[in-house]
Amino acid sequence: MFPKTLALLIASGLTAQATQSFSNTGTTTGWDAIFIDSGTKGTVQQVTNVVYQGPSALKMTQTYDSSYTGRYHSEVHHYNAMKKGDTGFYGFAFRLEADWQSSPAQSYNIAQFIADFTDLDCGEDYMPGTMVEILGDQLVTRRKYGSVCPTSSQQTEYYNNLATITPGVWHKVEIQASWQSDISGFLKLWLDGNKVLEELNVATSVTDGRAFEFRVGLYANGWHDDKELKGTQPTRQVWFDEIGLGTAFADADPDQW
């Protein structure tokens, strides 16, 4: 009986040490910033008619403008989400609009870790590390490592076709990462409870040790990067709910709050 009792005590102790460092249940309050690029028709709204769970969710909208040359962010930001040397879990639920046009494929970012490197004066301002994107009907992520400066030292590894995303259906994403600039790091990602990525013994962070923000929302990065709208759907809408960070999977899993 003693070993079983000891195991239960150890398990209880591990559970007690888990810490949810941030959570948001689909509200515009509680964020460090809400960001919409000036010059765009983007919006960030708290809504009650489309939710994953609870009374509200966040609805992000962006509209393409052929005369505009900037970026298209409609995001909420949580500062100091991670830095090199940290290990943590990060999660959220999201839903593409029911008539989301997936073809031809163009990238739409839905989450990213990003930091301001303007002070290094090497041509890099806000630089994202790991990003989570929708490309066509597929979930995509990446890891970035190396030195920030010169920018030619930055290395990026993409992971495409991780899972199919269904418009009009709520999906949930959980990420676990050990943020390391050497090969002691790892990156794991789950979609709807299924592990779709596990990269072990890899670099997952740049060498600079400053803190990165965690941002969720609609960033239509393909419009900027491709310098055009692909397809015939210039307005895009994505809903987000139950965003969480912490030291255990349950901290980031919307179904375990």
Rounded average pLDDT over 243-252: 98
As a whole number of angstroms, the distance between CA 205 and CA 130 comes to 8
Rounded average pLDDT over 196-202: 98
The one-letter amino acid code at 243 reads I
2 within some domain: no
Helix (H) or strand (E) holding 191: strand 185-191
E-state strands within the chain: 20-24, 33-36, 43-47, 57-63, 73-82, 87-96, 107-116, 126-135, 138-145, 155-159, 170-178, 185-191, 194-202, 212-219, 235-246
SS3 at position 3: helix
3 within some domain: no
30 within some domain: yes
Q: Give the total number of structural domains in the chain.
A: 1
| pLDDT for the residue 68 | 98
* Cα-only R_g, the chain: 19
206 within some domain: yes
- The CATH number for 151's domain is 2.60.120.200
Residue 1 reports pLDDT greater than 70: no
As a whole number of angstroms, the distance between CA 58 and CA 114 comes to 20
Q: pLDDT tens-digit profile of 76-85?
A: 999 999 999 9
92 within some domain: yes
Residue 6 reports pLDDT greater than 70: no
C-alpha dihedral over 34, 192, 47, 81, to 10 degrees?
A: -20
| pLDDT for the residue 169 | 98
SS3 at position 42: coil
| DSSP assigned state of 214 | E
| pLDDT for the residue 16 | 46
| pLDDT for the residue 18 | 77
Higher pLDDT, 162 or 7: 162
12 within some domain: no
| pLDDT for the residue 91 | 98
11 within some domain: no
Q: pLDDT tens-digit profile of 122-144?
A: 999 999 999 999 999 999 999 99
| Residue 130 belongs to domain spanning | 20-256
Higher pLDDT, 106 or 6: 106
Q: Answer positive or negative: Cα dihedral of 113, 116, 120, 125.
A: positive
